[in-house]
Amino acid sequence: MIERSCIAGVDIGTSSVKVLVVDPDGRIVASVSRAYPLVRSDGVNAEQDPDLVVERTMQALRTVVDEARRAECRVDAIALSAAMHSLIALDDGGRPRTASITWADNRAAAQAAHLRASAEGIEIYRRTGTPIHAMSPLAKLLWFRDEDPDAFKAACRWVSIKEFVLLALTGEILTDHSMASASGLFSLETSQWDTEALDLIGIAAEILPELVPTTHVVERLQPDIASSLTLSERCPVVVGASDGAVANIGAGALRPGSVVCSIGTSGAVRATTDRPVTDAEGRLFCYVMGEHRWLVGGPTNNGGSALAWVRASLFPDLDESDAFAKLDEAAARIPAGARGLMFLPYLLGERAPQWDSTARAVFFGLTDRHDRDHMLRAVLEGVAMQLNSVLSLVEEAVGTGADDMRATGGFARMHSWRRIVAGVFGRRIRFPVSYESSAWGAAVLGMLAMDRIDSLDWVEDHLEFQTDCEPDRLEAEAYARRIELFEGLYGRLDSAFDDLARIDL
pLDDT at position 34 is 98
pLDDT at position 400 is 82
Task: Please say whether the beta carbons of 385 and 483 come within 8 A.
Answer: yes
Q: pLDDT tens across 272-283, in order?
A: 999 999 999 999
Alpha-carbon distance of 379 to 44, in angstroms, equals: 22
pLDDT at position 455 is 95
Q: Which of 317-326, 406-415, 478-487 has the highest mean pLDDT?
A: 478-487
pLDDT at 367 over 70: yes
Under 8 Å CB-to-CB from 124, ≥6 apart: which residues?
A: 115, 132, 138, 184, 194, 196, 197, 200
pLDDT at position 2 is 66
Task: Please say whether the beta carbons of 45 and 107 come within 8 A.
Answer: yes
What separation, in Å, do the N-terminal and C-terminal C-alpha atoms of the chain show? Answer: 65
Task: Please say whether the beta carbons of 494 and 356 come within 8 A.
Answer: yes
Task: Please say whether the beta carbons of 83 and 441 come within 8 A.
Answer: no
Q: Read out DSSP for 26-75?
A: S-EEEEEEEE---EEETTTEEEE-HHHHHHHHHHHHHHHHHHHHHTTEEE
Average pLDDT, integer, range 459-471: 93
Alpha-carbon distance of 83 to 102, in angstroms, equals: 9
Confidence of residue 107 (pLDDT cuts 50, 70, 90): very high
Q: pLDDT tens across 394-451, in order?
A: 999 998 888 899 999 889 999 999 999 999 999 999 999 987 889 999 999 999 999 9
pLDDT at 504 over 70: no
Cross-strand pairs, 356: 350
pLDDT at position 467 is 86
C-alpha closest to that of 337 among 449, 205, 479: 479
C-alpha closest to that of 498 among 112, 41, 490, 305: 490
- The one-letter code for the residue type at 480 is A
Which phi and psi (to 5°) does residue 192 adopt? -130, 170
Q: pLDDT tens across 239-262, in order?
A: 999 999 999 999 999 999 899 999
pTM higher than the cut 0.85: yes
Which phi and psi (to 5°) does residue 277 adopt? -135, 130
Q: Which domains does the chain have, with CATH numbers?
A: 4-250+437-462 (3.30.420.40), 261-431+469-499 (3.30.420.40)
Provide the mean pLDDT of the chain: 96
Alpha-carbon distance of 271 to 261, in angstroms, equals: 9
* Backbone dihedral region for residue 373 (phi beyond 0: left; psi -120 to 50: alpha; all else: beta): alpha
Percentage of the chain beyond pLDDT 90 is 92
- The one-letter code for the residue type at 306 is A
pLDDT at position 335 is 97
Q: How far is CA 180 from CA 57, 82, 86, 106, in A?
A: 22, 12, 11, 20
Q: Three-class SS of residue 99?
A: coil
Q: pLDDT tens across 185-205, in order?
A: 999 999 999 999 999 999 999
Alpha-carbon distance of 87 to 97, in angstroms, equals: 11
Q: pLDDT tens across 138-186, in order?
A: 999 999 999 999 999 999 999 999 999 999 999 999 999 999 999 999 9
Confidence of residue 206 (pLDDT cuts 50, 70, 90): very high
pLDDT at 505 over 80: no
Torsion of CA 312, 313, 317, 322, to 10 degrees: -40
Alpha-carbon distance of 110 to 106, in angstroms, equals: 9
Residue 291 or 216, more confident? 216
pLDDT at 9 over 70: yes
Average pLDDT, integer, range 449-470: 94
Positive or negative torsion for Cα 46, 52, 58, 63: negative
pLDDT at position 355 is 93
Percentage of the chain beyond pLDDT 70 is 99
pLDDT at 469 over 60: yes
Task: Please say whether the beta carbons of 274 and 292 come within 8 A.
Answer: yes
Average pLDDT, integer, range 456-476: 94
pLDDT at position 28 is 96
pLDDT at position 1 is 57
pLDDT at 129 over 90: yes
